[in-house]
């Protein structure tokens, strides 16, 4: 059962627009808890364990993957939702699903597939996440996909950016309307998670250092607070505690700013949320600017580090050549995929197959195709 103390503007399973297909249920889980469980048990979620966040899987066991990142996003997002009296089951479902459509090799893979698919509808990972839960997962008799609730599917396609929808989704997912507050949380929880764990991974790898981070106000203020609180802490504990304090600070800022927005606009229902011209879940202006500076630092010092760039160039070559090989000789694909050509088109099926690969599988496939 859902919490009895949910806010009036929270999403409730009892008010859901439902699922595309009627099903006989074997238990009495809430609607969004059922969505969460289906996402956790699907094949695409398991494959996130071997998909790149920043560091490719073989570079070390310490570094985050898409799977551990998704778990961290879920933990942060649930903390925000709990304090705002929002639906934690829906928030958790959306957190765990938000990267299902990501390619091998992180954003490089997404950019490569979008370029290769430019004449066939392009590629974008939120759209692919929706395609996975609506079409590509094959687990239930009688329908394709996971048959998730409408609100979960809407949150997947609208959670980030400006909510612009492609023509395929526009009719069903209400263009021009804001998604639920639960969906709005995911974008900022995602930022909080990856900014902080990328600092941790970057420091551990030696790609960035504490001296460079002194020029980032958001980090340095937290680092100094921790130094005063734990003056005897060693370097490693000091870093971990700084990351912990920074995550807590950002969560509190989102909660306080969002609560103030809800009061200011007298938000009292889901309809009020959807009718706003902007997102209500937000950072304060000061933190938003400091967070922008942190993202800029990571972009320049970590994501463009020469070792990361070397792997990016290799990944682009791997995926481009694999794609070309499949297009030129479709019999390289499994029978089950070739059977989808008539329905979806050869290029889209090839794109689906590559997007579903893990880093390890893509590298092994490259070797199978191109090495003696």
pLDDT digits (tens, 9 = 90+) for 5-21: 999 999 999 999 999 99
Shared-domain flag, residues 165 and 84 = yes
Question: How confident is residue 57, by pLDDT bands cut at 50, 70 and 90?
Answer: low
Domain total in the chain: 2
In this prediction, residue 163 carries a pLDDT of: 53
Residues constituting the chain: 372
The tokens 């250092």 sit on which residue? 209
Contacts for 176-179: CB closer than 8 Å, 24+ residues apart: 177/274, 177/275, 178/273, 178/274, 178/275, 178/276, 178/278, 178/279, 178/280, 179/154, 179/155, 179/274
Shared-domain flag, residues 338 and 214 = no
Shared-domain flag, residues 341 and 243 = no
Count the Cβ atoms, other than its own, within 10 Å of residue 96.
23
Count the Cβ atoms, other than its own, within 10 Å of residue 28.
8
Shared-domain flag, residues 337 and 226 = no
Shared-domain flag, residues 108 and 247 = yes
The CA distance from 109 to 130, in Å, is: 18
In this prediction, residue 268 carries a pLDDT of: 94
Shared-domain flag, residues 263 and 121 = yes
In this prediction, residue 89 carries a pLDDT of: 97
Shared-domain flag, residues 301 and 323 = no
Q: Residue 61 pLDDT more than 70? A: no
Q: What is the mean pLDDT of the chain?
A: 92
Shared-domain flag, residues 271 and 353 = no
In this prediction, residue 320 carries a pLDDT of: 97
Shared-domain flag, residues 51 and 196 = yes
In this prediction, residue 39 carries a pLDDT of: 98
Residue 24 in any domain: the answer is no
In this prediction, residue 149 carries a pLDDT of: 97
Tell which of 260, 285, 308 closes a domain: 308
Contact 63, 201 (CB under 8 A): yes
Percent share of the chain, pLDDT over 70? 95
Count the Cβ atoms, other than its own, within 10 Å of residue 190.
21
In this prediction, residue 165 carries a pLDDT of: 59
The closest of 32, 251, 282, 284 to 181, measured between CA atoms, is 282
Domain boundaries, position 77: 30-308
Residue 244 in any domain: the answer is yes
pLDDT digits (tens, 9 = 90+) for 20-45: 999 888 888 999 999 999 999 999 99
Shared-domain flag, residues 302 and 314 = no
Count the Cβ atoms, other than its own, within 10 Å of residue 272.
16
Q: Residue 59 pLDDT more than 70? A: no
Going from the C-alpha of 316 to that of each of 21, 109, 159, 163, the distances in angstroms are: 39, 7, 27, 28
Shared-domain flag, residues 224 and 113 = yes
Select, from the ranges 64-68, 314-318, 321-325, the one with the highest average predicted confidence (pLDDT): 321-325
Interval 94-109 mean pLDDT: 94
The CATH number given to whatever domain includes residue 41 is 1.10.3210.10
Contact 194, 69 (CB under 8 A): yes
Residue 345 in any domain: the answer is yes
In this prediction, residue 162 carries a pLDDT of: 54
CA 224 from centroid of its chain's CA atoms:
31
Residue 25 in any domain: the answer is no
The CA distance from 164 to 124, in Å, is: 12
Question: How confident is residue 3, by pLDDT bands cut at 50, 70 and 90?
Answer: confident
Contacts for 246-250: CB closer than 8 Å, 24+ residues apart: 246/196, 246/218, 246/219, 246/222, 247/76, 247/192, 247/196, 249/222, 249/287, 250/192, 250/283, 250/287, 250/291
pLDDT digits (tens, 9 = 90+) for 159-200: 776 555 565 665 788 888 899 999 999 999 999 999 999 999
pLDDT digits (tens, 9 = 90+) for 119-154: 999 999 999 999 999 999 999 988 999 999 999 999
The closest of 289, 296, 227, 217 to 253, measured between CA atoms, is 289
The CA distance from 4 to 365, in Å, is: 51
Q: Residue 60 pLDDT more than 70? A: no
Token pair, residue 112, equals: 């490569």
Tell which of 276, 308, 340 closes a domain: 308
Q: Residue 54 pLDDT more than 80? A: no
The CA distance from 33 to 93, in Å, is: 7
Residue 80 in any domain: the answer is yes
Interval 89-98 mean pLDDT: 98
């Amino acid at each position: 059962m859902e919490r009895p103390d949910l806010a009036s503007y929270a999403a409730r399973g009892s008010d859901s627009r439902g699922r595309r297909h009627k099903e006989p249920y074997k238990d009495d889980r809430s609607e969004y808890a059922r969505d969460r469980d289906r996402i956790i048990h699907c094949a695409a979620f398991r494959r996130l364990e071997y998909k790149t966040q920043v560091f490719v899987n073989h570079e070390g066991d310490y570094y985050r993957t898409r799977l551990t990142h998704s778990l961290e996003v879920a933990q942060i997002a649930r903390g925000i939702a709990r304090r705002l009296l929002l639906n934690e089951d829906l928030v958790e479902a959306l957190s765990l699903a938000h990267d299902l459509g990501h390619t091998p090799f992180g954003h490089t893979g997404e950019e490569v597939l979008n370029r290769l698919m430019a004449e066939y509808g392009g590629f974008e990972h939120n759209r692919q996440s929706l395609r996975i839960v609506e079409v590509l997962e094959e687990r239930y008799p009688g329908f394709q996909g996971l048959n998730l609730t409408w609100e979960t599917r809407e949150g997947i396609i609208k959670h980030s950016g400006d909510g612009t929808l492609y023509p395929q989704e526009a009719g069903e997912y209400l263009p021009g309307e804001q998604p639920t507050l639960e969906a709005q949380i995911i974008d900022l929880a995602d930022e909080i998670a990856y900014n902080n764990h990328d600092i941790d991974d970057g420091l551990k790898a030696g790609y960035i250092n504490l001296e460079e981070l002194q020029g980032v106000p958001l980090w340095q203020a937290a680092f100094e607070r921790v130094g005063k609180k734990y003056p005897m802490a060693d370097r490693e504990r000091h870093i971990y505690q700084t990351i912990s304090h920074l995550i807590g600070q950002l969560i509190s800022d989102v909660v306080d700013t969002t609560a103030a927005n809800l009061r200011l606009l007298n938000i009292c229902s889901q309809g009020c949320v959807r009718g706003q011209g902007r997102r209500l879940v937000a950072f304060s202006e000061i933190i938003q600017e400091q967070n922008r500076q942190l993202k800029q630092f990571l972009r320049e010092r970590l994501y463009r580090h020469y070792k990361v760039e070397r792997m990016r160039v290799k990944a682009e070559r791997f995926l481009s050549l694999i794609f070309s090989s499949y297009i030129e000789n479709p019999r390289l694909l499994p029978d089950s995929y070739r059977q989808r050509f008539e329905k979806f088109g050869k290029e889209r099926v090839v794109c689906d197959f590559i997007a579903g690969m893990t880093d390890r599988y893509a590298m092994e496939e490259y070797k199978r195709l191109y090495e003696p």
